[in-house]
Amino acid sequence: MAKIEDIDSWFAEFKEEMFNLFNNFSEELTKRLQQTYADVMKLNEKLDRFSEETNRQHEEMRQEILSLPNSPKGISIDE
């Protein structure tokens, strides 16, 4: 039969191991969340640049169409 001291010792070791596992898990999770945040910020910047470039190209095309000799001046092409 196990002695109380053995059980206490086992429980203390188990508790320490679980604490270490939790710390390792939480540190790894924090690193991954930080990397995900950095990646999302980079993606957001790329999407902003893409949106700006698309808007610029749209405006250039609009101006080209409006400058054509037979362009319908009274019709809005912004839709």
Total count of residues recorded for the chain: 79
Q: Are 66 and 73 in contact (CB under 8 A)?
A: yes
Q: Are 77 and 62 in contact (CB under 8 A)?
A: yes
Q: What is the pLDDT of residues 56-76, one digit of tens each?
A: 999 999 888 888 887 666 555
- List, in order, residues 6 or more apart from 78 with CB less than 8 Å away: 62
For 9, the token pair is: 């010792």
Name which of 2-6, 7-11, 16-20 the model is least confident about. 2-6
Q: What is the DSSP letter of 68?
A: S
Is pTM beyond 0.85? Reply is no
